[in-house]
Homo-oligomer: A and B are copies of this chain.
Amino acid sequence: MVMIGASILSANYGHMAEEVRRAEEAKVDFFHVDIMDGHFVPNLSMGLKVPEYLQDITHGTKIDVHLMVENPDIFIPKIAEASDMVSFHAEATKFLFRTVDLIADNGAKPIVALNPSTSISNIEYVLENLYGVLIMTVEPGFSGQSFINPMLKKIDKLKNLILTEGYDTKIFVDGGINTTTAPKVVEAGADALIAASAIYGKDDVVKAVQDLRASANFKI
């Protein structure tokens, strides 16, 4: 069963507790928090305290933080304590084993994110130590972009590598996910889908999540 994560990047900032309640009613599997530093990506989204705030207003739904920042090690201890899963970018550090250990040592599950053009050869050796790989299917930094098609080949290639090696690493996919792209990425091998505007951009959040889940579990 494919997991669905709601990215609060598209949620209403003035009434966050209510936005969280709507997504929990829709039974999303996790909340996804995009933290950007204006350096790794050319945008600044939200701050380090968001996971902590979310803990206060959620009711057991898991929290997944995506660090789109340079020097992620500086921020991980604080972030990992308040989150269930933490992803950082392979392009943001030369020491992937160290950062993976830092996340795990602070109590969260480690995920490595890859930009669209980045080869999976960059995670070849660390793969078995990961809870997940986050395949970006748009360039990170902004919501509302279109799905990049060659990413289906990449998801497929990664899935094969994971199965061949016998790892239990999960594949997360983020970017341009909607009811059209969801079945394709699941077919290619995705285990979890993250959506922003396809959930919070809709009037009826519960129905939006149901539609997405239905499309994701549809066999092509």
Q: Which of B39, B47, B98, B115 contacts A39 (CB 8 A)?
A: B39
Contact across chains for A14 and B97 when beta carbons are under 8 A apart: no
A residues bordering B, Cβ < 8 Å? 13-17, 20, 35-40, 42-50, 53, 56-57, 69-71, 74-75, 89-91, 94-98, 115-119, 121-126, 128-129, 139-140, 148, 150-151, 153-154
Contact across chains for A35 and B44 when beta carbons are under 8 A apart: yes
A49 with B95, Cβ < 8 A, contacts A69-B44, A75-B44 known: no
User: A69: which B residues are within 8 A, CB to CB?
Assistant: 38, 44
Contact across chains for A95 and B139 when beta carbons are under 8 A apart: yes
Chain B residue at smallest Cβ distance from A165: B153
Chain B residue at smallest Cβ distance from A150: B125
Chosen A-B contacts, 25 in total, with CB atoms closer than 8 Å, are: A14-B57, A35-B44, A36-B47, A37-B37, A37-B39, A37-B44, A38-B39, A38-B70, A38-B75, A39-B39, A43-B47, A44-B47, A44-B48, A44-B75, A45-B49, A90-B117, A95-B139, A97-B139, A98-B139, A116-B126, A118-B122, A119-B125, A125-B148, A125-B153, A125-B154
Number of copies of chain A assembled together:
6
Chain B nearest CB, measured from A71 CB (Å) = 8
Give bound CA distance, A115 to B126, whole Å. Answer: 11
User: A43: which B residues are within 8 A, CB to CB?
Assistant: 47-48
Give bound CA distance, A89 to B117, whole Å. Answer: 13
Give bound CA distance, A94 to B89, whole Å. Answer: 10
A125 with B151, Cβ < 8 A, contacts A37-B38, A38-B69, A74-B42 known: yes
User: A118: which B residues are within 8 A, CB to CB?
Assistant: 94, 122
A116 with B139, Cβ < 8 A, contacts A14-B16, A53-B13 known: no
Give bound CA distance, A219 to B45, whole Å. Answer: 42
